Chains A and B, each alone.
Chain A
Amino acid sequence: MNPASEPDQPGQAVGPASQDAAEAARKLRDMIAKQFGRSLHIRTLDTGSCAVCEQEIRLLSAPHYDLQRLGFFFTPAPRHADLLLVTGPMVRAFDVAARKTYEAMPGPKVVVATGACALGGVYPKDAFVHGDVGEVLPVDVWIPGCPPSPLALLYGLSVAVGRLAEKAPGLTFLAEDDPEGGEQ
């Protein structure tokens, strides 16, 4: 989650002055996450999906899942949105609309790329598509799936606001009956 809407630069050295700045940034992020954790407004963005991810997203407000009980709400206005939920492989012809929607959202804001298409998994980069939402927008959270089910989306949104710790770094994808020293 980037209050300044810039992706973090990897591998930066941290000296004393920038340590204070890093500490302040961490405090700011935590404060924002706490607010988002109580009430978060979501704007969706379709950059060229096959329409199934949208159906799963629509079901988030259906009785079985009811995202509002978790403090998440949908909003049609980017100006009121805190989180941009992006599907599709970022068709190049859509770039302008994507950037405009992102820029219309006031900071602090979170960008969540959802579905295999958005994560670079279905379309290679070519003349029609970027193949990956991250080529055009600064992504903060990635949710795999084809499509990600509403449960996976609820999990992803909870991770995005810092309400749940993410499991992915600890998962090994080694079968339990042959873990070869790793733990599932």
Chain B
Amino acid sequence: MPLWSVRGLRRGVVTTRYPAKPDQSAAALPTPPAFRPRELTRQDADRMIAVCPRAALRRREDVLIFDVGACAACGRCAGVAPHAVTASGEFELATTTRSALIKEIPILGDQR
């Protein structure tokens, strides 16, 4: 066992201080999309809805309804509408209310 104790002491502490302090490794994680309403047209929205593998996106008139809970952060929506979509960088998404994960994104791109 001295072998392991020496290894451990030499290795040092790798434990994160999260959530007390931010953790750098979070920057590399895939996150749900954030949208640019002024760049988003109805056509963009419909194309994104068609490629989303699991119904995280729906459209009602000029509102894109985005279910963050259903989102797998796969990036396909960003792939078909790169001008209108970017990574949100948000991974602290847990909630006690399911409806807090349903977001409404205004579609304003057609008005330009």
**Counting CB contacts under 8 A, is A124 at the interface?**
yes
Q: Judging by beta carbons under 8 Å apart, are A175 and B54 in contact?
A: no
What number of B residues sit within 8 Å (CB to CB) of A?
Answer: 48
How long is the Cα–Cα vector from A149 to B92 in the complex, in angstroms? 10
A145 close to B93 (CB less than 8 A): yes
Known A177-B36, A180-B37, A180-B38; contact A159-B73, beta-carbon cutoff 8 A: no
- CB neighbours (8 Å) of A178 from chain B are 36-39
* A168 lies within 8 A of B72 (CB): no
CB < 8 Å A-B pair total: 154
Q: Contact check, B15 vs A66: say whether CB atoms are below 8 A apart.
A: yes
Whether B106 and A144, one on each chain, are in contact in the complex, defined by CB atoms closer than 8 angstroms, is no
Query: What residues of chain A lie closer than 8 Å to B29, measured between beta carbons?
Result: 149, 151-152
For B47-86 the 0/1 string (1 means CB < 8 A from A) is 0000001111000000000111111111000000000011
Closest to B29 in A: A149
Residues in chain B near residue A119, CB distance under 8 A: 69-70, 98, 101
Q: Which B residues lie within 8 Å of A116 (CB)?
A: 54, 69-72
Question: For residue A169, which residues in chain B have a CB less than 8 angstroms away from its CB?
Answer: 95, 97, 100
Cβ contact of A141, chosen from B35, B73, B91, B94, cutoff 8 A: B94
Q: What separation, in Å, do the CA atoms of A20 and B33 have in the docked complex?
A: 43
Q: Is the CB–CB distance between A168 and B86 below 8 Å?
A: no
Closest CB in chain B relative to A159 CB, distance in Å: 5
Cross-chain pairs A/B with CB under 8 angstroms, 20 sampled: A119-B70, A121-B54, A121-B71, A141-B95, A144-B32, A144-B93, A154-B19, A168-B94, A168-B101, A169-B95, A169-B97, A171-B88, A171-B103, A173-B35, A173-B68, A173-B88, A174-B34, A174-B36, A174-B37, A175-B86
